[in-house]
Structure 1
Amino acid sequence: MIEKINLNNILFIDIETVPETEDFSQIDQEMQQLWEQKTQYQRKDDYSPEEFYERAGIWAEFGKIICISAGYFTNKNDIRNFRVTSFIGEEAKILKDFSNLIQNHFNGAQHLLCGHNSKEFDIPFIARRMIIQGIAIPAKMNLFGKKPWEVPHLDTLELWKFGDYKHYTSLKLLSKILGIPTSKDDIDGSQVAQVYYVQKNIDRIVTYCEKDVIATAQIFLRFRREDLLIDEEIIHV
Structure 2
Amino acid sequence: MLYKLDLVNILFLDIETVPETNTFSELSREKRLLWEQKSKYQRKEEFTPEEYYDRAGIWAEFGKIICISVGYFTEKGANRNFRVTSFHGDEIQLLKDFKNLLQEHFNHAKHLLCGHNGKEFDFPYIARRMLINGIKLPYKLDLFGKKPWEIPHLDTMELWKFGDYKHYTSLKLMANVLGIPSPKDDMDGSMVRDIFYKEQDLDRIIIYCELDVVTTAQVLLKLRGDDLLTEEQIKKV
* Displacement after TM superposition at 1:187 (Å): 1.1
Once the two structures are TM-superposed, the CA of residue 89 in structure 1 deviates from its matched residue by 1.2
Tell me how far apart the structure 1 counterparts of residues 27 and 161 of structure 2 sit (CA, whole Å): 38
Alpha-carbon distance, 1:185 to partner: 3.4
The alignment status of 1:205 with 2:215, answered yes or no, reads no
Pairing of 1:155-234 with structure 2 (within 5 A): 155-234=155-234
Q: Deviations over 1:164-222 (max 9, x none)?
A: 00000000000000000011533111000000000000000000000000000000000
Identical-pair percentage: 65
Shift of 1:31: 0.3
Aligned-residue Cα RMSD (Å) equals: 0.6
DSSP 3-state at the match of 2:57: helix
Structure 2 CA distance, aligned partners of 1:131 and 1:184?
A: 32
Partner of 1:73: 73
Residue 117 of structure 2 aligns with which residue?
A: 117
- Structure 1 moving runs of 4+ over 2 Å: none
Could you say which residue in structure 2 is the equivalent of 1:145?
A: 145
- Aligned to 1:140, the other structure's residue is in SS state helix
TM value normalised by structure 1: 0.99
Gaps in structure 2 of 5+ consecutive residues: none
CA contact (8 A) 2:19 2:56 kept: yes
The match for 2:83 is: 83
TM-score normalised per structure 2: 0.99
CA deviation vs aligned residue, 1:134-177 (integer Å, no higher than 9, x gap): 01111011000001000000000000000000000000000000
**2:211 corresponds to which letter in structure 1?**
K
Residue of structure 2 in register with 1:35 after alignment: 35
> What one-letter code is carried by the residue in structure 1 that aligns with 2:153?
H
- Residue 13 of structure 1 is matched in structure 2 by 13
Aligned position for 2:25: 25
Question: How many Å separate the matches in 1 of 2:184 and 2:97?
Answer: 31
The residue identity in structure 1 corresponding to 2:96 is K
Report the Cα distance in structure 1 between the residues aligned to 2:75 and 2:122, rounded to whole angstroms. 26
CA distance in 2, matches of 1:43, 1:160: 29
Q: Name the counterpart of 1:47.
A: 47
Q: Give the structure 2 partner of residue 107 of structure 1.
A: 107
Cα distance between partner residues in 2 of 1:2 and 1:226: 11
CA distance in 2, matches of 1:105, 1:134: 22
User: In the alignment, is residue 235 of structure 1 matched against residue 235 of structure 2?
Assistant: yes
Q: Match of 1:97, SS?
A: helix
| 8 Å contact from structure 2 (residues 14, 70) kept in 1 | yes
Q: CA offset at residue 58 of structure 1?
A: 0.2
Partner of 2:75: helix, strand, or coil? coil
Q: Cα 1:124–1:184, aligned 2, differ >3 Å: closer, same or farther? A: closer
| Cα distance in structure 2, aligned partners of 1:235 and 1:136 | 31
Which ranges in structure 1 are unaligned for 5 or more consecutive residues? none
